[in-house]
Every structure is written in structure tokens, then in C-alpha cells.
Amino acid sequence: MTEKDINIENEENLNEAPVEDTEKETAEATENQEAAADEAAKEEEEVDPLTKAQQEIEELKTQLLYKAAEFENYRKRTLKERAELILNGGEKVISAILPVLDDMERAIANGAKTDDPQVLREGVELIYNKFVKTLEGQGVSKIETKDADFDTDLHEAVAMVPGMGDDKKGKVIDCLQEGYKLNDKVIRHAKVAVGQ
């Protein structure tokens, strides 16, 4: 072999050797990285449940604080609304009654100008009818007592009338004071005399 051939063979060997060494080094590096990743994964598995649980606890504490603050704001708002409702709850009814009051004032002013009792009576009846309509518009209704059976939910017996006969037994004979309901709730029982 000539020198040239030897140099070519050496160059080939030199070129081949680094390729093999590089592949070996790359393979070892890859194996080392995989081993390191496996170890890290094992460490994460060991530490992760505790860390994860602590993170969840912190998140739940934060949510609890937000919910508690939100509930406290809701409670304060409803208390304020309730207080306003109590103070101003009758505003609607009073506003509806004020025109009747105006009519009464006009009737009083005109009553001084006339001596005719019939005119005064008609004026009072008109005001009374308007007042009843206003109350009905607000949900107030009169409890019926005429020829009604005595009902303790609606009536209050203030007198028992004996000797009225069997057909009047347990029936309302007379109404001494009218009773009223507000939206089907009794706000004043009718005071009645009941047959015995």
C-alpha cells in the first residue's frame, strides 16, 4: 500500500470513528435524559398529592371567603330593603286614599254654605262609595255576614241569641261591626250575634 492509500484509510477510519462515538454519546445522553425524566416523574408523584391537596385547600378557602362576603352583602341589602319596605310600605295605600281626603275637605267647605241636609247626605254617600272603591282597589274586601253560617275564621261571636228557631241555629243573626279581608287574609273579624 502506498502512503496515499494509508492516508485515505486513516481518514476513513477517522471519519467513521467520530460518527460511531457521536451516536453512542447521543444514545447515552437520551438514556440519561429519560432516566432523569423518570426520576422527576417519580418525585412529582410522591410530592404532587400533598402539593395538589394544599393548592385545592387554598382555592377552596378563597372561594369560601368570596361566598361569605357575597352572602354578607346580600344579607345587608335585604335588611336595608326590608327596613325601607316597613317604613314606606303604606305609601301606595296612602296615595290612593288622599283623593278621598280631598273630597272630604271639599264637602266640609261646601257644607258650611248650605243648610240642606239632603245635599250633605248625598255628598257623604258619594265620598263613602269612592272610599270603598279605593279600598277594593287596594285588595280590601268586606266579609259577608248576611244569612251566613257562623265561621270562626271570619266571625267573632259577641252575643248568642236564643229562641230563633232551628233554621237560625249557628247562623249570623246580626252584624255589630263589619269585618274586612286584605287579599283573602282576615285583617279584622266581623263581630256578630249568632243564633242559638
Q: Where are the domains of the chain?
A: 1-89, 90-138, 139-196
Which pTM was predicted? 0.54
Which of 41-45, 130-134, 168-172, 175-179 has the least mean pLDDT?
41-45
More confident residue, 145 or 23: 145
Would you state the pLDDT for residue 47? 59
Whether residue 13 is predicted with pLDDT greater than 60 in this model: the reply is no
User: At 14, is the pLDDT very low, low, confident or very high (cuts 50, 70, 90)?
Assistant: very low
User: At 56, is the pLDDT very low, low, confident or very high (cuts 50, 70, 90)?
Assistant: very high
Give SS3 for 188. Answer: strand
81-138 per-position pLDDT tens digit? 998 888 887 888 888 889 999 988 888 888 777 778 888 888 889 999 999 999 898 8
The 10 Å Cβ neighbour count of residue 164 is 15
Measured CA to CA, the distance from residue 182 to residue 140 in angstroms comes to 5
Whether residue 18 is predicted with pLDDT greater than 60 in this model: the reply is no
Give SS3 for 78. Answer: helix
Q: Mention every residue, 6+ apart, whose C-beta is less than 8 A from residue 135.
A: none
Average pLDDT, the chain: 81
The owner of cell 241555629 is 169
Would you state the pLDDT for residue 71? 96
What is the dihedral angle through the alpha carbons of 86, 89, 90, 93, rounded to the nearest 10 degrees?
A: -160
Measured CA to CA, the distance from residue 173 to residue 154 in angstroms comes to 15
Would you state the pLDDT for residue 60? 96
Would you state the pLDDT for residue 57? 95
Cell of 104: 272630604
- Section 50-73 average pLDDT: 94
| CATH numeric code, 139-196 | 2.30.22.10
Whether residue 26 is predicted with pLDDT greater than 50 in this model: the reply is yes
Q: Which pairing describes strands 172-177 and 190-195: parallel, antiparallel, or unpaired? A: antiparallel
Strand 185-188: give its sheet, edge to edge. 140-142, 180-182, 185-188
Q: What angle do CA 83, 86, 88 make, to 5 degrees?
A: 105
Cell of 124: 257623604
Whether residue 12 is predicted with pLDDT greater than 60 in this model: the reply is no
